[in-house]
Amino acid sequence: MVSGGRLKGRVALITGAAQGIGKAIAVKMAMEGASLALLDIDERVMELADQLESEAIPVCAFKVDVSEEESVEDAVKRIVERFKRLDVVVNNAGTVRPAALEEVTDDDWEVVIRVNLKGPFLCVKHAVPFMKEQHYGKIVNIGSRAALGKLDRTVYSTTKAGIIGLTRTLALELAPHNINVNNVAPGPIATELFSAANPPGSPKTKAIIKSVPLGRMGQPEDVANVVAFLASDEASFVTGQTIFVCGGLSIGGVYF
C-alpha cells in the first residue's frame, strides 16, 4: 500500500474498524497518509493492524467496548501518547437488533442505545480536549439512512436519528475551536453483516436493490470515500451536515 495524500501527517481514530465499513475507512485513510488508531470489540481489529503495519502504515489497535468509558478514556490517552496528537475521530462502531416495536426487549433497547449513542458520545468527550489544544479536529459520525425510518428498526433508527442531533449540536459547540463535525448516513451497503442477513439473489435482497433509485447496492468504499473527504482540509467549511450515501434512498424509495 502506498500512503500519501489528503491526510498526510494526521492521526485518525476509527471505531468498529475490524470489518465492513470501518475496515474500508481504515484502508482508505491509510492510503491518504494518515496514522491509524483502530478500536473494536472484535479481535480481528488486531489482524487488520498487523496487515497495515506490514505495509509500513503507522498503526495501533485496541480491543475496546466503546460503551465503557474507562476503556475509551484509556485508549484515547494511549493513542495521544503514541502519536503525540489526535486529528480525526470516526465513530463507526454500531450494532443492530432488528425488531418491530412490540418485539423490542429492554435488553435490545439498552444495548443498541449504549453502543450507537453512548459510544460516539464517549469517544468525542475524551478526544475533544486534545483537539481543542491543537485548535484543530475532524469528527465524522456514521449514521444511517434508517434515521428517516426503516421497518423493524425501532431502536436502531432512533439511535441514528439521535446521531444527527448530536452532530449538529457538537458542530455548533466546537466550531470556535476549529473542529468540524459531520455525519455520513449510509443506505444498504454490501458488507459481510448485510449479506449474512440478506443473501445475494434472495427475494428480500432483490427488493432492497429495486428500491434504490441508482439500482444497486453500495460498497464499503463508497462510504469510506466520503468519510475521507470530510476528514480532510478539503471539507474545512463543512460542518453540522448529514451526507446520505444511499443511492438516492433519502429522496425516494422504501428501504425494506
Which band of pLDDT confidence, cut at 50, 70 and 90, is reported for residue 216? very high
Q: Tell me the CATH architecture of domain 11-245.
A: 3-Layer(aba) Sandwich (3.40)
Non-local (6+) Cβ contacts of 89 within 8 A are 12, 13, 123, 124, 127, 137, 138, 139, 140
Residue 121 has pLDDT above 90, yes or no: yes
Range name among 11-15, 100-104, 232-236 with the lowest pLDDT average:
100-104
Lookup result for grid cell 429522496: 251
Q: In angstroms, what is the C-alpha Rg of the chain?
A: 17
Is 255 marked active-site?
A: no
Domain boundaries, the chain: 11-245
Mean pLDDT value across residues 76-86: 98
Question: Binning pLDDT at 50, 70 and 90, where does residue 254 land?
Answer: low
Q: Is the pLDDT of residue 256 over 60?
A: no
Q: What is the pLDDT of residue 152?
A: 86
Choosing from 156, 194, 244, 255, the catalytic residue is 156
Strands 59-63 and 35-40 come out as parallel
At residue 198 the predicted structure's pLDDT band, cuts being 50, 70 and 90, is: confident
Residue 181's pLDDT band, with cuts at 50, 70 and 90, is very high
CB neighbour burial string for 91-108, b if at least 16 within 10 angstroms, e if fewer: bbbbbbbebeeeebeeeb
Q: How confident is the model at residue 194 (pLDDT cuts 50, 70, 90)?
A: confident
